[in-house]
Chain A
Amino acid sequence: MTSLALQRQQGNRRTARRLLLAVLAMLGFSFAMVPFYNVFCRVMGIQQDRTAVADAPVAGWQQQVLFDSNVAAGVPMQIRALDARREGHAGGLMKARFELRNLADTPLGVRAVPSYAPLSAVRYVEKVQCFCFDAIHLAPREVREVTVVLVFKSDLPATLGPITLSYTVFGLDGGKQQTTATAQSIAKAAT
């Protein structure tokens, strides 16, 4: 290798090393955006709801929530609200648990669909996490506890009255799997 080529190779290596450093710095930057974002939101007073969730207790109106649950016809399972009635605060956070029970000897895919009463409550109550976000697959005879986490907007009016949040559980594949499963469990019960 000529000395010119060698010199060029060293120069190339130096450039590449600098560029690699830039790559690593930017990778670091992408993760640094997370704390920066949180600080930025706090300083700018954006999204107070989110910070409020983090540092929970906030004084406000007592808000009563009733949890109700149903199973669509033909789905071989039970759902039970473990916290049928809870109290929360405007600007605060609430968690409630449910128990799902697969009554069949076959795996079961279900999805829970929520609804509110009164309907106007939708504006003030936000689900930050909910078992109704995902399809749920239960093993045969499985019993599982699932949760919903709600946030109340800080402008929640005192006049709303108790809110009912009701879930109805439906089968995943349009009821096909469930009807066969039901047929099986009925047949089993008969024997």
Chain B
Amino acid sequence: MTTTTDALNPAHPIDHGHGADHGHGGHDAHDHHHAPAGWRRWVYATNHKDIGTMYLWFAFSMFLLGGTFALGIRAELFSPGMQFWQPEFFNQLTTLHGVIMVFGAIMPAFTGLMNWMIPLMIGAPDMAFARMNNWSFWLLPPAAMLLIISLFVPGGGPGAGWTFYPPLSVQLGAGMDFGIFAIHLMGLSSIMGSINIVTTILNMRAPGMTLLKMPMFAWTSLVTAYLLIAVAPVLAGAVTMLLTDRHFGTHFFNAAGGGDPILFQHVFWFFGHPEVYIMALPAFGVVSQILPTFSRKPLFGYVSMVYAVCAIAILSFMVWGHHMFAVGFPATAQLFYMFMTMLIAVPTGVKVFNWISTMWQGSMTFETPMLFAIGFLCLFTIGGMSGLVLSLAPVDIQLHGTYYVVAHFHYVLVAGALFSLFGATYYWLPKWTGNMYSERMGKLHFWWSMIAFNITFFPMHFLGLAGMPRRIPDYALQFTTFNEVASVGAFLFGFAQILFLYNVIHTIRGGVGPSPQRPWDGATTLEWDVACPAPHHTWTEPPSLALVREGLIAQGLEESTHVEELK
């Protein structure tokens, strides 16, 4: 395998020129026409790169805000008893932390990545609907504002948890309405973004790139966007019913009026479980790009990877009951959801084995993106294992609502989704900025995050097993030590992210020097065939069939013909 890539490498200088042609020749003049200067460039942005950049910065600022709330939680939990907050405010902190991280940080960050990278990777000039793309982004800041303002209305922010379970969510004050409207806006944004992504991927691929030859990141983006189109409207429906129960006298979830609060849980988790994969699948895609690059081998089992992603997506609609084992299901329902949930571990396992096989006997190097990808692989697998433990209904009835669940989903979301986002940033930062980041600082960020993450969340497994409930501001004395450890870890983890911000700004300002067009010698997808930094307009002419084929051969997706071998 390595020999194929090696053989191909000499060819690259040729297409460097080719790519640079695309970037500069003829299109720079274009740029000055289309990119207005100053604030207009951002407010009226229709360029997929500008919009992607805005998504990424928005997501990062939300990440810092949500992280601040998390540190508020961990500060309170450093010792038993009440230190800083009232219980009501503590509930608002947990709620806003969850909502902001899920809808404000992780999801927009992936949408930003897709905006930036999908057109580059599939050889399209831009997203299919550039103006709608602008709307998708600009709905997000108002939604974030609603969430922040909610803290200052009488009664404070929504305090019912990110899951918004009634009856509490029906009884809370006006802050809850702000939360509901924020969810509406963010849902609308996701739907429009997803329509754009699906259309772009289905209709605008370069010649020669059939669906089964797309980069893995494009595949996971496609499936993620389909999932969002299917479940974002369901979430919108659920919170709309909450709203009418609150203000218009309906009784969807009000037991006294013949409704049922459990119904909300069904509707919410019908959205909620696919939602967790909406945050996980793009991470799978990122890792599937990074691992082959730094192993200098094609992705192992490409087709099985595609099928695994599709299988996970389909199964994710049939397992929502595993969040509700404790509501009093009949045994048959418990068994159904239990077996379906365990079944998801199969395609997930296929993916993990394929990633490991990709690295097997590769010429691996350990630059920062690779470190984050391997960190993802190790820790996400731990999260999958604790998920498997929770999928056992009799066990889950013990563990439901404890810190064990908190540990589980932070292993899959922080070490899964977030680590992949860090990896993706370091991987593509040279392409975005034209500069190389400092490898030393990147590695420091990785190891610091990796250690601090585990200090924070590993003890939570034990806290949960020992019975500490989640979402409480105070706890019994025997949980003290592990909570202290977790809180120390959380603050360490928080500081590591300031280092990340520093790294990114440092790179934008020049980093350790200009990056070559193809900074990673194992990188074979189309985004590396454009200049560095990527010019404002790329692939206004689709890449040539020959260029596409060259990449596909390097990715092991096409056989090279005799003629090409001679070349």
Contacts and interface: CB of A to CB of B under 8 A. Distances in A.
B203 A37 contact: no
Interface stretch (B10-18, B69-77, B255-263, B495-503): B255-263
A135 B383 CA distance: 40
A26 B229 contact: yes
Given A19-B195, A22-B229, A46 B234 contact: no
Interface in A18-56: 19-20, 22-24, 26-27, 29-31, 33-34, 37, 44, 46-47, 50, 53-54
Contacts of B167: 133
A159 to B, nearest CB: 26
Contact of A29 (B234, B254, B256, B260): B234
Nearest to A54: B258
Contact of A37 (B204, B233, B236, B263): B263
B125 to A, nearest CB: 9
A19 B229 contact: yes
A12 B129 contact: yes
A22 B226 CA distance: 10
B230 A22 contact: yes
Residue among A12, A29, A46 with most chain B CB within 10 A: A12
Interface in B104-147: 128-129
Contacts of A31: 237, 241
Contact of A44 (B266, B270, B330): B330
Nearest to B238: A30
Nearest to B256: A129
Nearest to B250: A34
B479 interface: no
Contact of A128 (B203, B256, B263): B256
Contacts of B204: 8, 12
Interface in B226-275: 229-238, 241, 252, 254-256, 258, 260, 263, 266-267, 270
Contact of A149 (B202, B256, B266): B256
B214 interface: no
Given A11-B203, A30-B237, A50 B260 contact: yes
Interface in B214-234: 229-234
Interface residues of A, number: 29
A15 interface: yes
Contacts of B255: 50, 53, 128-129
B62 interface: no
B357 interface: no
Contacts of A26: 229-234
A16 interface: yes
Contacts of B398: none
A19 B199 contact: yes
A30 B195 contact: no
A50 to B, nearest CB: 6
Interface of B: 128-129, 167, 171, 191, 194-195, 198-199, 202-204, 229-238, 241, 252, 254-256, 258, 260, 263, 266-267, 270, 330
Interface of A: 8, 11-12, 15-16, 19-20, 22-24, 26-27, 29-31, 33-34, 37, 44, 46-47, 50, 53-54, 128-129, 133-134, 149
Give the top 9 A-B pairs by smallest Cβ distance, nearest first: A30-B237, A129-B256, A27-B233, A26-B233, A128-B255, A30-B234, A12-B128, A15-B199, A128-B256
15 contacts: A8-B203, A8-B204, A16-B195, A19-B229, A24-B233, A27-B234, A29-B237, A30-B236, A31-B237, A33-B263, A37-B260, A47-B260, A128-B256, A133-B171, A149-B256
